[in-house]
Amino acid sequence: MTEVIVRKGEPVDRALKRLKSKLDAEGILEEVRRLRAFETPSQKHRRKARANAKRGRIKFRFSP
Total residues belonging to the chain: 64
Give residue limits of the domains in the chain: 12-62
- Per-residue pLDDT averaged across 24-31, rounded? 90
Average pLDDT, the chain: 92
pLDDT of residue 63: 81
* All residues at 6 or more sequence positions from 4 whose CB lies less than 8 Å from its CB, including other chains: 15, 18, 19, 22
At residue 64, does pLDDT exceed 80? Answer: no
- Rounded to two decimals, the pTM is 0.55
